[in-house]
Amino acid sequence: MGKLEGKTAVITGGATGIGLAAAKRFVEEGATVFIFGRRQDALDAAVAELGDNARAVTGSVSDEANLDRLYAAVKAEHGTLDIVFANAGAGSMAKLGEITAAHIDETFDTNVKGTIFTIQKALPLMREGGSIILTGSSAGTTGAPGMTAYSASKAAVRNLARTWAEDLKGTGIRVNVLSPGATATDLAKASLGEEGQKVFASMTPLQRMADPSEIGAVAAFLASSDSSFMTASEVAVDGGLAQL
């Protein structure tokens, strides 16, 4: 029996990359997983890969009506919710001096506002023993050149967990941050190319980028009772990048 047997999980940004890797691990551990994302084709492909214990809902975390549809689907099928992995994220480069209001809005609407409403709207369905996982980033600790808005948004996500752990006192619901470093998702490999991947790999003591499955494994740990005495914590899965 898997450690998530009988659990119901929501993963935003769950059709590709880290979200899909986490969904695979959650399903392997026995959970039913609702993946949420903007691209129907990617969601359909992910559900086909994940199998019978996966469901898909299309939408954006920055649109509250979309999130309402997501949680209505969860409630209709299962009534309650055990795990929320708020993984949807956005980020692009804009150097200081070139940052626009539109760039800030795009980043913060997804990474901060989207995370807040993803969790806030899930709470009525959650019960004692529930686990909330937020995707942070090594950039939220170290900063990243040309990534002002992204780095600031991920630092904000780290503090959301601290604040919410206080707000959730007495509920039995935990909230933690999973902070990856450079991860070899299909998108990252395509955008960085071979040379770019080598550069990012060289920045970590382990001298490589993470495989998405390594991030998914830690997400499963935070979702399970194995992490039952953890809340308000940040787990860095970054090959040591932000730790030295």
Catalytic residue list:
150, 154
Question: Pairing state of beta strands 234-237 and 54-58?
Answer: unpaired
Residue 176, H or E segment: strand 174-180
End-to-end CA distance of the chain: 38
Q: How far apart are CA 200 and CA 89, in angstroms?
A: 20
- Residues counted in the chain: 244
Beta sheet of 126-135, edge-to-edge order? 54-58, 32-37, 8-12, 81-86, 126-135, 174-180, 234-237
Q: How far apart are CA 116 and CA 105, in angstroms?
A: 15
How many other C-beta atoms can be found within 10 angstroms of the C-beta atom of residue 48? 10
> What DSSP string runs through 17-76?
HHHHHHHHHHHHTT-EEEEEES-HHHHHHHHHHH-TTEEEEE--TT-HHHHHHHHHHHHH
Question: Pairing state of beta strands 126-135 and 32-37?
Answer: unpaired
